[in-house]
Structure 1
Amino acid sequence: MTTPRRIPARYAAVTVVAALVAGVGLIGPAFGLPVGPEPSAADKIQADPPPALFPDADVAPIAAALADQQRTADRLIVGWQTTHGTTRDDVAFTAWVKAQIPRPPATTDRTAELHEVQTLARTRTSGGISAATWLEVHGKKDVWKVYAKDQRELLSKATGSADKTRLKAAMALANTLTKTLAAQYDAPAPYVLDPSLRTDKKVAPGQTCPCSYPSKHAALSATAVTLLSAGSPRRAAEYRWMDSEVAYSRLYMAGHVRSDILAGALLGDLVADYTLITAGLPLPAATAGPTGPAATPSAATKTPAMVVP
């Protein structure tokens, strides 16, 4: 892995501010003091800098699978657009996108996926656990909010505000769809099926959920990657790299099996494509294959410190 870049000195104070805000949140109510606003995504990451993340070789297979899901979404959205044009209709789209997400695999196939996660769990290292834990905490929303804020700094206020509104609405829609499908399919997470995979998670006897199909981390990440790539094509490789890191971390720490990740990614890609075409914006350029130039970022850009604007 490339050694993370040093964080500029001007950001050091942010860590202190984040700690003070957290302190007020803990002691304020006890003394009747007002509680300040929640720290921003940038504050959270500054207070909890990323460790070294997973090597490219480890995440390459899931990165290729995520790219396939994006291409599938781009093909499927043509069917939606043929029928509905560019008119926004969230109710109709919700019904349509649910029909595009395949049902969870049969029990035999899902058991094979569980074995894959169990095998991966036996290779865990302290560094891998640190990387996966950071990605689990910050990979759902924080890193994407910081990337988005970084983009807006180079845009006019009006354009940046419109992009922020679109991203927020798209991620909210992806979140709602993911929760709805997860409740519908009731597919238990790997660590529920095998509690030894996550001894830090309490699994009650007979518990069937948390439900893991489709993956919310994957859905939100895919939504963000597609929208951010449309706004900043030259950074698309970096966004996809982070997406694959988040996805791999969910397998590594037994939060999901592979089909959970891929279903979530397809859902998020479809939501983002829908958001773009109904806003009159073009879809990002076709995602490169696993051996293409956009498969992974260059050594110059592939550093976790890049998530700090």
Structure 2
Amino acid sequence: MNVLRGIKWPYALIALVAVAAVAVGMLRPQLVTADTSSKKKPSATDKIKQSPPPALFADAQIAAIGKKADAQRTKADALFAQWTKTHGTTRDDKAFTAWAAQQVPTPPTAAQRAAELQQDQQLAKTRTAAGKKAATWLELHGKKDIWKLYLHDQRELVPAQQGKAEKAELKPALKMAKTISDQVAAKDKQSAPYVLDPTLRPEKHIKPGAKGPYSYPSSHAARAAAAVIYLSALSPHRAEDYRWMQDEVLYSRLYMAGHVTSDITAGTLIGDLIGDYELTISGR
């Protein structure tokens, strides 16, 4: 027997409850809408917490592409010295973007690219389930998330205002790296390896005769190099970790045939130039 049935509810109280129920019913959609609209996009930290890294590639696997990337640093420093000689150390993003794009080497010849494609084809034969999992994670988070997470960790150890300024400097560097690499790619129109050989990424469903997407230079490489130079200046003792992650990202792009080696080195050169630029104009 329901004990609530034996209670005599005062009419005034019943009316009050009824009005409140109606009011809540009328407001509920608004509350839900307001709550939904106030949701923020997940941060880089949130994304990586939700998708932590799997076991990544061994140091021996990533060493070769790492050395090729290292060679771009000296070249970038020499080129950037020419920029400062003419433009000084003041910010001029528009002029720098145009200048940096002009420093990217002429794309490799068809024969050279064919030889690089063969390297990707040979590497594809060594793929494992674990390797694909690592490459997929690096492709997804190697553009921005991992670098933002590294900076977030560093910001925990510095005054809030300083951390805010550092965040404001890294963001445009990553954006500029994408902008320049996209501009050059659209101009040079070098098809990605998996477009040239669809068997390298059968899940992409490339149409016969397709040209794009274009892969010279690598946007992943450009953003990684820019971030590594900037982060290493902020925390030199962690530079080796940043370079290791950069090499992981670069190798993953070859492993899954998103790029050939010349795509990687051209992108790295762009990122190195951007890193030098951001450090210089920020007085670091």
| Common topology (TM > 0.5) | yes
* Matching of residues 110-125 of structure 1 within 5 Å: 110-125=113-128
* CA-CA distance at 1:279 after TM superposition: 1.4
State yes or no: 1:183 paired with 2:182.
Answer: no
Find the counterpart in structure 1 of residue 226 from structure 2.
223
Distance in 2, matches of 1:215 and 1:205, equals 23
Equivalent in the alignment of 2:207: 204
Separation (CA, whole Å) in 2 of partners of 1:204 and 1:265: 30
Equivalent position amino acid for 1:55 in 2 = A
Aligned positions of 1:99-178 closer than 5 A: 99-178=102-181
Q: Give secondary structure in 1 for the equivalent of 2:204.
A: coil
Task: Give the CA deviation at 1:91.
Answer: 2.0
CA distance in structure 2 between the partners assigned to 1:135 and 1:94 by the alignment: 26
1:236 is matched with which residue? 239
Matching residue of 2:43: 40
Hey, which of these two has a bigger chunk of helix by percent?
2
| Aligned twin of 1:192 | 195
Which residue of the other structure, out of 39, 52, 65, is the alignment partner of 1:49?
52
**1:262 matched residue in structure 2:** 265
SS in 2 for 1:235: helix
Please give the alpha-carbon distance, in whole angstroms, between the structure 2 residues aligned to 1:95 and 1:194. 32
User: Match for 2:94 among 91, 94, 104?
Assistant: 91
1:198 and 1:127 mapped to 2: Cα distance?
16
**Corresponding residue of 1:72:** 75
Superposed CA offset, 1:272-295 (max 9, x none) = 1011111121xxxxxxxxxxxxxx
Separation in structure 1 between the aligned mates of residue 228 and residue 205 of structure 2, nearest angstrom: 32
| Secondary structure of the structure 1 residue equivalent to 2:203 | coil
Following superposition, the deviation at residue 95 of structure 1 comes to: 2.1
Q: Map Cα deviations across residues 115-146 of structure 1 (whole Å, 9 max, x no partner).
A: 00000000101111111011011111110010
Partner of 2:20 in structure 1? none
CA distance in 1 between counterparts of 2:278 and 2:141 reads 24
Number of aligned residues: 252
Q: Which residue of 2 aligns with 1:304?
A: none
- Which of these two proteins has the greater Rg computed from alpha carbons? 2
- Write the letter of the residue equivalent to 1:202: H
TM-score normalised to the size of structure 2? Answer: 0.86
Q: Please give the per-residue CA displacement for 1:9-43, whole angstroms capped at 9, x wherever unaligned.
A: xxxxxxxxxxxxxxxxxxxxxx9672522211111
**For each residue in 1:80-139, what CA deviation from the matched residue of structure 2 results, as whole angstroms up to 9, or x when unmatched?**
111111111122212211221101101000000000000000010111111101101111
Letter of the aligned partner of 2:161 in structure 1?
A
Q: What corresponds to 1:63 in structure 2?
A: 66
Q: Distance in 2 between matches of 1:117 and 1:200?
A: 17
CA RMSD of aligned residues (A): 1.4
TM-score, with normalisation over the residues of structure 1?
0.79
Query: Which residue identity does 1:162 align to in structure 2?
Result: A
How far off is 1:70 after superposition?
A: 1.6
- 1:39 and 1:131 map into 2 onto residues whose CA distance is 22
Offset, 1:212: 0.3
Listed one character per residue, the Cα deviations across residues 240-284 of structure 1 (whole Å, up to 9, x for unaligned) are 000000000000000000000110110011011011111121xxx
Structure 2 counterparts to residues 12-31 of structure 1, below 5 A: none
Distance 1:105 1:40 in 2: 38
Gaps of 5+ in 2: 1-31
Greater shift, 35-44 or 256-265, is seen at 35-44
C-alpha distance in 1, partners of 2:128/2:122? 13
